[in-house]
Every structure is written in C-alpha cells, then in structure tokens.
Amino acid sequence: MRKNLLIGTALLMVSIPTFAGGFLTNTNQNVLFLRMLARDASTRIDAVYSNPAGLAFIEGGDGLHLSLNIQSAYQTRQITSTFAPFAYGVQNGGNATKLFKGEASAPVIPSFQAAYKNGDWVFSGSFAVTGGGGKATFNQGLASFESIISMLPVFGQSMGINRYNVDSYMEGSQFFYGLQLGVTYKINEHFSAFVGGRMNYVNNNYTGYLRDIQINMPGTKTMVPASATFESMAAQLPDGQQKVLLGMLAKATEDKELDCDQKGWGLTPIIGLDFNWNKLNVGVKYEFNTNLNVENDTRINTTGFPAYDHGINTPSDIPGLLTVGVSYDLLPTLRASVGYHHFFDKQADMANGKQKLLSAGTNEYLAGIEWDVHKRIQISGGMQRTKYGLTDDYMEDISFVTSSWSFGFGAGIKLAKNLNLNIAYFWTNYDDYTRESSDYNNMVQKLQNIGLPESVASQLPKLPGTDVFTRTNKVFGVGIDYKF
C-alpha cells in the first residue's frame, strides 16, 4: 500500500501538463487567397503580403490601391484517445476509448492592405491578424489531463478504489497582430525588388483547471472528494511515512487552476524579387526568422509549474518563410498559378527546444486557376497540400497540427470602374495522425523528471495507449478592393 500511495502522489503532482500556443493559424491575408490559393506571383493588391516585389507591376498602374477583407473561420480539433484506465471513469461508461473535442471560432478576422505606386516606386503597408484570431475550448479537457487522474484506481486497488471522476476544462485564445511596411522598386521593365518588415505583437491567454477530483469511497460505489478523503485517512494514522504519503496525495488531488496571459513582440525582415515578362510572372519572397519571446502575466497558477509563474519568458519564434510563385496567362481570359512554401521550423526556437523534435520544416504546394467568365465577373479555385515534419515525440494533444489538403473557390465581381468585390469559401481536409505508445504520455519519464527516485519509477507498470489526431477547418471571406 505504501508503494501505491507514493506512486499515486507523484502522478498527481504532474496533473496539468504544459499549455502551449497554436490554437489557430492564419495562412492567408486576403480573400483572393481563399478563392485561388496560389497567390505567390500575384500582381494585384493582395501582393502586399503574398508577393510584395510584384507590386511594381500592379494591375491598375499608378495610384493608391486599397483592400479591406473580413474572414470568418471555424475549426474543430479532435483527439480519439485509447487508454485502459479511462474505463474507470464515471463519465466514460466503462469505455477505454474517449473522444476529446475542441472547438475554435474566429467570427471576424480582418485584414487591410494599401499600396501607393508612383512611377518605379511603390510604398505599401498592411495590418492583419497574422496568426490566431479566435478561441479554442475543450469542455472535457484533454487526455493528457485525464490520463494521470485515471491512474488513481490502478494504484489504489489495494485500498478498494476502482472509480474516478474529474471536472476538466481548457480554453485558449491566441492573437498575432502584424503591421507590415515596405518599399518596392522597379529595376527595369522585367525585374523589381522589395525590402520591408513586419512588426508582430502577440497576445495570448490560456485558462484551464482540474476540479472536483473524486474517487469512490474505498469498498463502495459512493463518489467522494479525493483530497478530503486522503486527508481524513491520513488523520487516522500515527506519525510515519504512510501518514506523510497520504497527506501528499491529499495535496496533489486538490483543484489545479491556471489563468495566464502571454504578451510579446518581434520584428520580421522581409525581402522579395519579381520577374515579369509578357504573360509570365515569377515572384520570390523570404521572411527571416522572427526572434520573439512571450512574457507571462499570470493571475492564478496553482499547477505547481513555475513555467507559468508571473514574469517568466518563453521563446516563441516565428519561423522563416520562403515562397516561390509562377503565374501564366494561358488565354486572355484564363490564368493559372502554382506556388511553393517552405517554413524553416527547425531553426525557430520553441518552448523547451521543441523544434528539435521535428523531422523537417513544413512544405506547402499550391495551384490555382482563374477564369474571366464575363467582363465584370471572374471565378476561381485552387488547392494547397501542406506537409509537416511531424514525429510522435513532437505531437501533443494540447497543441497539434496534421498534414492536410486545402481547397478554395470563389468569385470576383467588378462593381464599378475602380471597385471590386471578392467572395470565397475555403476548407481543409486534415490527415489522421496516429501515435501509439508503450508508455502512454511518457508517464514514467515525467515522474523521473520531477524527482521520483528511479527505484520507485522502475516499479511503475508501463501502460500502452493510442491517440488519433485530426482537425477540421472552414472559412468564409468577403473583400473589397478600391483604386483611387
């Protein structure tokens, strides 16, 4: 019994794992992207973001070009987790497999682009929510939360404990605001170059808790508060290690709560080149790695993890990005484009050096086509394949992505001589990523990391488990382009 109590205490000491970012990611800054996707060789106003060097050849010529866009996004994140001790959960109906689902919404994601062209010079700027923009909620918490609580019956069998219950919740919001400014110069009739930068401001909030942890009264089916029960059991024992261990277990099963804001800023240098010849346009852009740290503004942290204490800084770099795009006019009324993106993820510092767990950076392959069906109406569509360098060690249910296929379609309508309307619908089909483990959530290693003696940790049973990760994503957008 003494060994079981020690193990149970150590398990509960790590009951709330690391919170992290990555709830929402915006890869687009204009509705033209939603309806065609391959915009890396654009010479329209959306080139302010996607191909800033191409602004030297902007359609419409000299003058002031403006674009205002509103997008609305809805995402789900689903983790189907299988772990034998889940069957002890009161809410799980004896099932070892449980679905943990998070919902994220961003009703309004605004972006604004402006470019002023005068001869060979173009001055451009944009403001957008370049990352995040919404809130993700897991009303039943996550498997990484519940799996540790579910071990109580495993190690409490000698005390007659065979059921558990917990109220678990997690919510996160993430906003990356970006203000970009730059200058494009037309070197000659075929070549142009861009230099500029983007100021990024990050504002995140993460809240979560484990409350009302319960176990069955030893030998009965009556559910009772775990902390108070262990405290009562400790009070009935004489001084000694068993009493100390029960007291530690009572402390470990108290409510755990976190409410933490994170704020930070960083500058992204950007350069670009464009080649334009007859019906062909080629755009290249490179965004340098952005060194960015976020600082905690913590209102409450009873998790026992100092990483979330007030004032702590955590690296959260924005990875460097290389984009290459080619567009070609197949006919006077028909245009096709392809693009390629590479994110230098492994060179961007993440919390706890997590970038080292990736096998490679992210690669994206894009294609799109646009047809002028009428002198005032265009229709378009496109696709994007995203491949991440994921590994089992990198994947966490708290923050995850999976490789995907994205599709978009829409229309452009010329409302007046200098006024265009863009509307589009965009969705993503995510791959399933399956992670199997002989030691679910690396529980033995976690216990050793917090100081559990190896002699005790070595006696822990390594229980297997499986997680299947997937997501959904749907976006609708409307934009207005105007030229003075």
pLDDT digits (tens, 9 = 90+) for 32-86: 999 999 999 999 999 999 999 999 999 999 999 999 999 999 999 999 999 999 9
Domains of the chain: 2-483 (2.40.160.60)
**What is the per-residue pLDDT for 121?**
98
Distance CA 343, CA 350 (A): 14
**What is the per-residue pLDDT for 2?**
45
Gap between the terminal Cα atoms of the chain: 80
Distance CA 424, CA 250 (A): 55
- Beta-carbon neighbour count of residue 329 at 10 Å? 14
Closest CA to 318 of 397, 200, 205: 200
Is residue 50 left, alpha or beta, with left meaning phi > 0 and alpha meaning psi from -120 to 50? alpha
φ, ψ of residue 25 in degrees (nearest 5): -135, 125
**What is the per-residue pLDDT for 218?**
78
Reported pTM: 0.90
**What is the per-residue pLDDT for 454?**
67
Q: Which residues contact 106 (CB under 8 A, 6 or more apart)?
A: 24, 71, 72, 73, 74, 129, 132, 133, 134, 135
In the DSSP assignment, the letter for residue 347 is: G
Distance CA 225, CA 116 (A): 66
**What is the per-residue pLDDT for 87?**
96
**What is the per-residue pLDDT for 455?**
62
Kind plus residue range of the DSSP H or E element containing 35: helix 31-36
**What is the per-residue pLDDT for 7?**
42
φ, ψ of residue 145 in degrees (nearest 5): -75, -60
Distance CA 244, CA 235 (A): 10
pLDDT in tens, 401-443: 899 999 999 999 999 999 999 999 999 999 999 999 999 988 7
Cross-strand pairs, 71: 109, 477
Q: Which residues contact 433 (CB under 8 A, 6 or more apart)?
A: 390, 395, 400, 402, 403, 468, 469, 470
DSSP-derived 3-state class of residue 141: coil
**What is the per-residue pLDDT for 447?**
58
Distance CA 260, CA 205 (A): 6
Closest CA to 263 of 230, 232, 296: 296
Q: Which residue has the tokens 């995203």?
A: 386
The residues of the chain scoring below 70 in pLDDT are 1-26, 446-460
The angle formed by the CA atoms of residues 193, 198 and 201, to the nearest 5 degrees, is 175
